[in-house]
Chain A
């Protein structure tokens, strides 16, 4: 069951450059999307979310873009910092229905100084 897919298991970028993490989903009922960051031995930490009525949401260095027709979302981090190195999870839920979050497998981001 791969309703939420993160096809890149890892990504490496230089400090100061842009990091782009991608996520695809198959369930057209999903209408609320979140990105979480996770360090080893810690729980997922909420970063940013977007509702399907929007196509962009920005919070400081983090911007999430949603392309509903392509069932694709991306997280942009600009500029990337070494402290951003972590595993990033995309998650989705269906409004008015299930309360559960469906997670992708995660992308491990490494920001090199």
Chain B
């Protein structure tokens, strides 16, 4: 069964460093998303991406965040200068159709720890 994959599973970084989280969405999916879950809190939407551009972003997704689809398979989330409060599980998701009408399938997540 096709699935969303994410690497690395765990990333430890120093505050102020840049990190790139990687995702391989399901191959025939066209819509891509990043969510995060801070420990003990809800899963929160960060950004959606379609047709090589951001289609929607949340207030959390400020200038230190960026997304990219560098090739036909990968989808990345970059955090330019990490803060302690960026420590969270980051989930990538994808859907075949628009996420407002179709199921979003999630990857296993990357645990980001900022020291």
**Taking chain A's interface residues, is the majority helix, strand, or loop, or is none over half, making it mixed?**
loop
Is B115 interfacial (CB-CB < 8 Å)? Answer: no
Contact in complex: B99, A44 (CB < 8 Å):
no
Is B75 interfacial (CB-CB < 8 Å)? Answer: no
- Chain B residues with CB under 8 A of A103: 42-44
Pick the interface stretch among A16-24, A63-71, A89-97: A89-97
Contact residues of A between 73 and 113, Cβ < 8 Å to B: 89, 91, 93-106
- Chain A residues with CB under 8 A of B103: 34, 46, 49
Cα distance, A27 to B15, chains bound together (Å)? 37
Is B27 interfacial (CB-CB < 8 Å)? Answer: no
Is A42 interfacial (CB-CB < 8 Å)? Answer: yes
- Chain A residues with CB under 8 A of B45: 100-102
Is B51 interfacial (CB-CB < 8 Å)? Answer: no
Residues of chain A whose beta carbon lies under 8 Å from any beta carbon of chain B: 32, 34, 36, 41-46, 49, 89, 91, 93-106
